[in-house]
Amino acid sequence: MSGDLDNPIDGKTATIVGLGNIGSQLAGHIGRLPEIGRVICVDADVYAAGNLATQEISQRDVGVAKARVVARRLRGIRAELKVSAIVERVENVPWGRLRADVICGCVDSKAARAAINLIARRLGVAYVDAGIRADGLLARVDVYAADPESPCIECAWGQKDYESLGQAYSCAGQVREAPSSRASSALGGLAAAIQAIECQKLLAANGQNSVAGRQIVIEAACQHQYVNILRLNPACRFDHRAWPIQKVSAATLGELVAAGAAIMGEAPAAMSVEGRSWVTRLACPGCGEQAAVLRLQGRIDQRLGRCPWCGGARQPIGFNLLPRLDLATARPPCLKKPLTRFGLRAGDVVKLSGVTRQQGLELTREPAERRG
């Protein structure tokens, strides 16, 4: 790769989700690309001592959030590089905070890959996914274009894949940890290098030489390389659509409804957040205490999540989850509530549905009130 890092940068953004074996090594490659002006680092975990053998870290990084470690290292590589660290699971991050020119997936579960696929498609962003397997020394990189007529990661999934996806979540709706790949740092570095090269091709002015719609597999045990076609599946369960999304500044539910009505030309009847439900009741499995709430799944804060009687952790009740909120019957006191009361944050993308139209709205303002 050529390019003088002292020259003005193009200013494109790359989001890296997952900062383990592959992601911790990919970050340095991405940060050195002359096309990149900003990197968004996403990972909910901290580095453990066991990660020293397989990931691009040092002793001082043990016990520190992965996203913050990688962000610090990127700033050391290029002082002018803009870097954001998000210490949270990608499933729970507001889509607007992940907006980029390319999203790099370095995760180890189908649940996380499905979440990235959803976000990338709805935002109209290219997605480059990487994976490794110690058995056979396999490194894989899949390149998915932003074009809704192109294949997505779910096009190759069957019934068993979706069954295993369901098993990735606990009864409380939390994502279960995936087992370690037990692959070497060399194999992770191989996948990271290929992934970075393909990202640079996508970010080129005309995307020349990009292998979008292809899968690259290297069988390092025998030094074989395969390039497979990723085919569009007409029966894919995912609809591939990019959403029309407009940014709005709203602090209360009423302001959001009014903004949506002005854009849609009709009163919105329902509000939803794709991939999430609204929790309406929490229960403590220890003492049986229950409480009525109205919060977005995954956004139950510490106060609401703790039972006031026994101190146990409250959990959502499955039968009390709503896929959407009815806005047509919302009363004035409800409309005056801050969006944070519903678990919404700046950067969240909500879908408003009317009689004839649907509209995606990205929240740009964080309400001042943070009480829950």
Whether residues 117 and 43 fall in one domain: yes
Q: Where in the sequence is the domain holding 121, given as residue range(s)?
A: 12-229
| pLDDT bracket for residue 183 (50, 70, 90) | confident
- Cα 106 to Cα 195: distance, rounded to the nearest angstrom: 9
For 309, list phi and psi in degrees, rounded to 5: -95, -45
- Cα 234 to Cα 278: distance, rounded to the nearest angstrom: 31
Span 274-299, pLDDT tens digits: 999 999 999 999 999 999 999 999 99
Q: Is 6 part of any domain?
A: no
User: Length of the chain, please?
Assistant: 372
Q: Is 251 part of any domain?
A: yes
- Tell me: pLDDT of 247 over 90: yes
- Tell me: pLDDT of 163 over 90: no
Span 76-111, pLDDT tens digits: 999 999 999 999 999 999 999 999 999 999 999 999
Whether residues 215 and 167 fall in one domain: yes
Whether residues 319 and 222 fall in one domain: no
Whether residues 113 and 172 fall in one domain: yes
Domain end point (choices 176, 201, 229): 229
Token reading at 45: 């975990």
Whether residues 263 and 206 fall in one domain: no
Whether residues 217 and 261 fall in one domain: no
CATH number, residue 129:
3.40.50.720
Whether residues 108 and 48 fall in one domain: yes
As a whole number, mean pLDDT of residues 117-128 equals 97
Residue 207's pLDDT is: 66
- Are 295 and 343 within 8 A, CB to CB? yes
Through-space distance between the first and last CA atoms of the chain, rounded to whole angstroms: 50
- Tell me: pLDDT of 5 over 80: no
Contacts of 105 (CB under 8 A, 6+ apart): 17, 18, 112, 113, 116, 127, 128, 129, 130
Residue 302's pLDDT is: 87
Looking at the 3D structure of the chain, how many domains does it have? 2
The model's pTM is 0.90
Whether residues 197 and 266 fall in one domain: no
In DSSP terms, 252 is beta-bridged to 338
